[in-house]
Amino acid sequence: MVLQPPFSQMIEQFTKWGSLAASKYTFPAPDSSVKAEDTTTTSGTKIRIYTPNGYTGDKPVCMYYHGGGWAMGDINADDAPSRAISKLGGIVLVSVEYGLAPENKHAHIMNECYQALRWALDNSKRLNTAQGKFITSGNSAGGQLAFATALRAIDEGLENQLVGVFTLIPATVHPDSVPDELRSKYTAMDEHDQHTVNSASAMRSFWRKCSDSAWSSTILTTVQRLSEYHPLINMDRPFYILD
């Protein structure tokens, strides 16, 4: 099962496969040892706050951004990994349901993710988290948003508040923006075109749907910038962010 454009059919394909999986398999119930609370930020973004049993406070808040090619998914779809990260890390996790493409372009999505971070920092007492300390996290497209949110926080003067970035299979480079000297090494997208649910053509479709002329023409900011503020981050090769 591999996603194939056009974009409208990709969403239908993914929904169909999800329904098929639900009909064939029994999935475990949500981990009840992690408390979940749905609420909204002051700007109206829906979020889900996860707190593990036995949490005593004073740890960085973890911001989590779900996957789905910036155009699919929600906090329900990433409920299981959100609970797992909260529980295993012993931290409060805030999962963000950002507005999806194509109705929301990448600039808007990034702004919404960053504003959710600011809400969490402003509400550290409510969340019982360490004041002025945060981690960003995410899956796939959400992994890109985690890196981008961290970099924006640095640009906004919050570098001393960023504790770390934790991502799962992040989308970190647009194929058209790989530097010429590295193109011969950028082969995974073509080599594994049919090996996962995301084909190369599907990934390009996702990028087109979330980008506008102001944002699609400029790429990129390197993740290596993070190492300037966190010496423990050792980047042997450059990575790139759709920014």
- Give a yes or no: residue 148 inside a domain: yes
Asked if the model's pLDDT at residue 177 lies above 70, the reply is yes
For residue 139 the two structure tokens come to: 């899956």
Provide the residue range defining the domain that includes 92.
55-241
CATH number at residue 127: 3.40.50.1820
- Give a yes or no: residue 215 inside a domain: yes
For 107-124, what is each residue's pLDDT tens digit? 899 999 999 999 999 999
**Contact between residue 63 and residue 94 where contact means Cβ atoms under 8 Å apart:** yes
pLDDT value of residue 234: 45
- Give a yes or no: residue 118 inside a domain: yes
Structural domain count of the chain: 1
pLDDT value of residue 139: 95
CA dist 60 and 71 (Å) reads 29
pLDDT-derived band at 94, boundaries 50, 70, 90: very high
pTM for the whole thing?
Answer: 0.86
- Give a yes or no: residue 5 inside a domain: no
**Contact between residue 174 and residue 242 where contact means Cβ atoms under 8 Å apart:** yes
Amino acid identity of 5? P
- Give a yes or no: residue 7 inside a domain: no
- Give a yes or no: residue 66 inside a domain: yes
- Give a yes or no: residue 34 inside a domain: no
Give me the helix-helix angle, 200-210 and 7-24, nearest 10°.
120
**Contact between residue 99 and residue 90 where contact means Cβ atoms under 8 Å apart:** no
